[in-house]
Amino acid sequence: MSRWQKIVDALRKESKISSSNPRTFEETWSFTTSRIRLISLFVLLLLVFGSGFTYLVLKGPFAGFFSKNDRSIERGQLEKQQVQIEKLSATIDEQETFIYNLQQVILGNIKPEEVRKKKNINPVDYKDLNAESTAQEKELAERVKENMKSANTIKNKEELVLFVNPVQGKISDGFNRNSHPGIDIVAKKDEVVKACSAGVILYAGYSKEDGFFIIMDHGDESQSIYKHNKVNLKKAGQRVQAGDPIAIVGNSGENSSGPHLHFELWLNQQPVNPKEYLRF
């Protein structure tokens, strides 16, 4: 008998595996099997668990830990990202504080002179735009300039003829003092938004809801607001004349559903319907 035959016979030889109580030596359970069956069972279990582990490593939730394409982030990169996050957080806090101050200006709790000048966060310079003022607008701007030098306060609509349209277009949503304190004007793509009157830019920045927007103070207890701009062309603290380009019509902010200008006019700390003072 050859050596291999002896090995095969030894593997085929059946053995009894049993368990008994150590105190009474009473057999509790037992089964008979051969060594080759035990080896086959061990190999089968090894294949099953090995396949499951391989799947978890290559395609399961742990694939990223062993992927060759995985790029680990170095400590220097983490520190650089942390610095950027801190800068962004500081910028957001600064903007929120400044917007709060502007709200207080509109409500009349503080004076416009007390508002700190802020740098425009989107200093995009739009060139090659046809934003020249017409002869009528230039004449109107001069009249507004002279009017702002006086100490007279706007008392009635007749005195508001110096306000000019910020943009030409169709009104898609009207004025409602409680839910929509302004009007939405649908205009042509990249239409220039113009100052409705001479004044000072109180704020030119960005918010999540209103996108890029501008707040102007015109003196005589009047302010105007321009929201959802594509880009702001002016910075806080700049003085502009009636008809001067201040922004580009856009669709920025979560509250916008299409390119348009949301325009608000405030008189004596109260929002008013711009259609009562301007012709669109």
Going from the C-alpha of 269 to that of each of 152, 159, 224, 265, the distances in angstroms are 17, 17, 11, 10
**pLDDT-based confidence at 114, cuts 50/70/90?**
low
Question: Which residues of the chain are in CATH 2.70.70.10 domains?
Answer: 118-276
The string of pLDDT tens digits covering residues 151-181 is: 344 444 444 446 889 998 999 999 999 899 9
Q: Give the whole-angstrom CA distance, residue 33 versus residue 18.
A: 11
Hey, which bits of 110-210 come out as E strands? Answer: 170-173, 183-186, 192-194, 199-207
Residues 219 and 199 sit within 8 Å (Cβ to Cβ): yes
Cβ-Cβ contacts under 8 Å for 97 (sequence gap 6 or more): none
**pLDDT-based confidence at 77, cuts 50/70/90?**
low
**pLDDT-based confidence at 273, cuts 50/70/90?**
very high
Average pLDDT, the chain: 76
Read off the pLDDT of each residue in 76-98 and give the average, rounded to a whole number. 70
CATH number for the segment(s) 118-276:
2.70.70.10
Between 147 and 21, name the one with better pLDDT: 21
